[in-house]
Amino acid sequence: MNDLDFMQQALLGAERAKELGEVPVGAIVTYRGEIIGRGCNQPILRHDPSAHAEMMAIRQAARHLGNYRLPECELYVTLEPCIMCAGAILHSRISRVVYAAKDPKTGAAGSVINPFADCRLNHQTQLVDGVMADESSALLKVFFRERRQAEKERKKTAV
Beta-carbon contacts of residue 118 (< 8 Å; ≥ 6 apart) = none
Quick one: which of 19, 72, 80, 13 has its CA closest to 44?
Answer: 19
Burial class for 111, CB neighbours closer than 10 Å (0-12, 13-18, 19+): middle
- Annotated ligand binding at 40? The verdict is no
Instruction: Judge whether 135 counts as a catalytic residue.
Output: no
- Annotated ligand binding at 85? The verdict is yes
30 touches 42 (CB < 8 A): no
Of the candidates 22, 54, 74, 80, the residue annotated as catalytic is: 54
- Annotated ligand binding at 73? The verdict is no
Could you tell me which residues are annotated as the binding site for Zn(2+)?
52, 82, 85
Residues identified as active-site: 54
Could you tell me which residues are annotated as the binding site?
52, 82, 85
